[in-house]
Structures are given as structure tokens and as C-alpha cells.
Amino acid sequence: MRLTLRLIGTLLAAILVIIAIDSIWSIRREEELILQNMKENATLLGETTGKLFAEVWRFQGQQTALALISEVNRSEHRIKVRWVSTDSNAIDLYAPQVPLEQLLKVPRDSVAAFTVDHDSVAFMVVYLPISVTEPALGFLEMSESFYDLNAQSDKILMRTILLSAALVLVAGIVLLTIGTYFVGHPLRQLVQRTQRIGAGDFSHDNSLPGHDELAQLSMSLDAMCDQLGTAQNDIRVQSERRVEAVQQLRHSDRLATVGRLASGVAHELGTPLNVISGRAKMLSADGQAQGESLESLRIIAQQADRMAGIIRQLLDFARQRHVSRGSTDMVGLVKQTIDLLQSMARKASVEIKLSVPATLPHVFVDSGQIQQALINVLVNGIQAMPEGGTVAVTLSVDRKLWPMDQSRGERPCMVIRIADEGTGISEELTKQIFDPFFTTKEVGSGTGLGLSITHGIIEDHGGFITVQSVIDSGTTFAIHLPLEEEL
């Protein structure tokens, strides 16, 4: 509101200055016109009277001529006419109102006008030369008070004051109304908006209408709120991801600790299992056990060997190794990976089926990393079927365009397809499925890192992974790895 009042005050001051300048100019112009009119009227009266006065003076004498001037004064109330003598010894009755030496400078064929003051009253005095008797020279003096001029000036001044007061009043009301509506109210809205932004509220209000600067400022605030909201959301997401990353690191540390404990336990269990297996084989080989006893010994030895094999596989998988790529038999690696997950699959009532052609070329990969990628995808497939089902694993050789380098055309590759019969995921979510920390599982059931790590491993090997999914029909992951001769 203070800004509105300041603008109104500035505008009214400018209006008053303009009115004052116009009034001064009008008064001066009016005065000049009145003075010019006064001089013309006096000159016209003097010329008309002067000729008659000179003729009467010559033929009927001075007294008759002076009586004529008296008659003129009785009929003319504004302009007073007198005969003025140029004789320095003339009585005061015929002495001019201006100094005689100044009057004598007036040419015979011209009219002179002067301004004189009597008793604080200003007069215009016009002198018209009259030749009565040669070479004697006199003047007709026409004097008129500036009363009309002053009255007209006062009238203009009063009209200016009244007009200024009325204009200031009306303009003040109009400007106050317009300023409040177009400036004050929008500014209050903008101030309230900035206060809400400062408090963290980035919601949109209705933008100010129009195309003026305040409306543009309102639209800029809207854009700034969008940017701040996006930045705040990004910060929140990043903070959540940092928390999840810290939790994942802690979980990874616990897994590493469990792995070390499991490794120690596995070593401790390995020796007794070997003893059990060896004794069972020895008892079944000495020929003393018969029938059911022999079958039991054979089952004991078989299961002990199986337990020892599982422990060896867990130790091989948990052991930290340097990245080392080499020619790898993918069929054997996939079978080994499936064996590791058979226990989990049976508990979930899931059957893992493997389909491979008669012969497949080797691929140049790090078997440990590829096994980790396969486990991540297979575990996801098993967990996607809470009611049980089948996970189909298929190996084949095909020619594909590489998404990151289509200029080279189709290239031969090893394709590992893992298809489940789970609930599937929507098309929108498939675009985010490889993002870190993205998961469709319930809270606490997954970290959202498995597929992201798998995607990174496959890309590090020069390959790519694709996913196709249909809601309630299942999901198929396809891992493409370049063949050994293509590296």
C-alpha cells in the first residue's frame, strides 16, 4: 500500500506542476491579450476623438474642445481622456502623468503606451500626438485602470485552484482505486507467495492475469517453484538412496561376516562329511552288509558326497577373486548355477528347466561375475512366483544388433533366456527395472540392486540385457554375450 501511495503522490505532484505551469502561461497570455486590447481600444478612442478635438480647437476654441473631452469621459466609463500640453510651464491640470522629457521622445506619427501607479493602483496610459496649432504640439492622454486585468487574473487563478483541487481529488480517488486493484493487491499476493515459498510451500496459486510486469513476475515465481520442487524432490530421493546405500553397505558387511563364518563352518563340516562318506563306502565294500543295510550305507555315502559338493560350491562362490576372464563353457556354468539354487527353488515349489543345443561355443567372460548375474536373475524369477511354477533357462546362438553400436550391423552372440511364469511387471516399470534401488518387491524383501548389478556386469562384458514382461503372464530376461571370436 505504501508503494501505491508513493506512486499516487508522485503522479499528483506531476499533475500539479503541469497545472501550475499551464496556469502561469495562461495568466501571462491573458494579460498580454488584455493589455493589447486595452491599447487598441485607447488608440481607437484617441484617434476618433483626436481628429474631432483638433477641429473643434481650431474653429471653436480651447474651451469648446475641452468640453468635448468632458462629454467623451461622461460616456466612456473605462477610459479617461485628457488633453496634455507639452509646455513645461503648463498647470498641473494639463501636465502628463509620465515625465515630459520621456513624452517628447515620442514621434509625431506614433502612439506611445506607458504603465504608471497612483495610490498603489496601476494604470495604462496611452498618448496620441495632436497638432492643434503649429508648431505647438499636444497629446490626448487615455488612461485605463488595470482593474479588469487584475480581476481577470484573479478569476483565472481561482479557477486554476478549484480545477486543481477537483482534479487532485478525482485523480487521487481514481488512482487509489486503480493502484490498489492493479498494484497493491497483486503485490500483496506476491509477498504472501514469497513468504510461503520461504516456508517451503512450492504449490501453485492462480497466476496474476494480464501481460504486465507483475504477471510476468508471477509466472517467474511459478517456474521457480517448479524448479525448487523438482530440486527438493531430487534431494529427497538422493537422501533416501544414500540411506538405502548405507543400509545396503551394512547389509553387505553382515553378509561378508556371515560368509566368513559360513566358510569356517564349511571347513569344519567338510572333514566329518568326508569321514562319514569314507566309512560308509568302506562298510559297503567289505561285503559284510547285506540287503537294507547295504542300501542305507550307499544312501549315506551319496548324501554325504552331495553335502560336501554343495559346501564346495558355496565356498567357491563366496571366495573373493580378482576379475579374470577366460574361455568359459556356459552350459557347465549355467548347470552349476542352477544346482546352487535348487534348494531355494524346491522350497518355493519352483522347477528350473534347462534347454541347450547339442553344441555351443565358449565365451570369453569372467565366470564368477556371470554366475553372479545369472543368480540375480534366477532368484528374481523364483521370487516372482509365490504360488510356484517353472523357470525356463534356454541357451542359444544368434545374430543381433548391438543397441550401443548398431553401425557394425548384426553380430553373433550367446543368448541366455530366463523366463518365469510370475506376476509380470508393467511396461512403465520395465523402463526403470535396471535403475539402482528400484524394486517391485515389498519393503524388506529386496534392495533393488540385483538387476542393476547384473546390467553393469553384462555391459562390462560388452553385451546387453533385455526384458519383456506381460502382467500375470511372466517375465523373460535375455542376456546377450559376444562370442569369443568377436572380442
Q: How far apart are CA 218 and CA 204, in angstroms?
A: 10
Share of the chain above pLDDT 90, in %: 7
In the prediction, which pLDDT does 133 show? 61
Window from 62-66, 199-203, 434-438 with minimum mean pLDDT: 434-438
How confident is the model over 282-315, as pLDDT tens digits? Answer: 777 776 766 777 778 778 877 877 777 667 656 6
**pTM of the full structure:** 0.41
Q: What's the mean pLDDT in 452-457? A: 81
pLDDT for 89 beyond 70: no
In the prediction, which pLDDT does 418 show? 93
- What DSSP designation does 181 have? I
In the prediction, which pLDDT does 443 show? 40
pLDDT for 318 beyond 90: no
CA angle centred on 193, ends 188 and 196, rounded to 5°:
130
Cell of 277: 562318506
- Cis peptide upstream of residue 107 (ω within 30 degrees of 0): no
pLDDT for 466 beyond 50: yes
What domains can be seen in the chain, in order of their start residue? 2-161 (3.30.450.20), 209-320 (1.10.287), 324-486 (3.30.565.10)
In the prediction, which pLDDT does 255 show? 57
Cell of 261: 563364518
Model confidence at 222, in pLDDT bands (50, 70, 90)? confident
pLDDT for 91 beyond 70: no
**What kind and span of H or E run contains 192?**
helix 185-198
pLDDT for 423 beyond 70: yes
Q: Which among 134-143, 221-230, 400-409, 470-479 has the top mean pLDDT? A: 470-479
Are 365 and 414 a contacting pair, CB within 8 Å? no
3-state helix, strand, coil in the chain (%, to 5): 60, 20, 25
Please enumerate in sequence order all residues whose Cβ is within 8 A of that of 161, keeping only pairs 6 or more positions apart, or say none. Answer: none
In the prediction, which pLDDT does 159 show? 78
In the prediction, which pLDDT does 286 show? 72
Estimate the crossing angle of helix 330-347 against helix 292-318, to 10 degrees. Answer: 110
Share of the chain above pLDDT 70, in %: 76
In the prediction, which pLDDT does 351 show? 92
Model confidence at 391, in pLDDT bands (50, 70, 90)? very high
Greater confidence, 433 or 142?
A: 142
pLDDT for 444 beyond 50: no
- What DSSP designation does 327 have? E
Length of the chain, in residues = 487
Per-position b or e across 453-463, b if 16+ CB within 10 A of its CB? bbbebbeebbb
How confident is the model over 16-57, as pLDDT tens digits? Answer: 788 778 777 877 777 677 777 777 777 777 777 777 877 888
In whole numbers, what is the pLDDT of the chain averaged over residues?
76
How confident is the model over 94-146, as pLDDT tens digits? Answer: 777 877 777 777 776 677 778 777 766 777 788 878 776 654 467 778 887 77
Greater confidence, 149 or 453?
A: 453
Q: What's the mean pLDDT in 337-348? A: 88
Q: Which among 140-154, 172-186, 466-480 has the top mean pLDDT? A: 466-480
In the prediction, which pLDDT does 446 show? 47
Greater confidence, 331 or 154?
A: 331
In the prediction, which pLDDT does 280 show? 76
Q: How far apart are CA 286 and CA 294, in angstroms?
A: 10
* Residue closest to 219 by CA, chosen among 204, 237, 241: 204
Q: What's the mean pLDDT in 5-15? A: 75
Q: How far apart are CA 453 and CA 477, in angstroms?
A: 14
Q: How far apart are CA 120 and CA 123, in angstroms?
A: 10
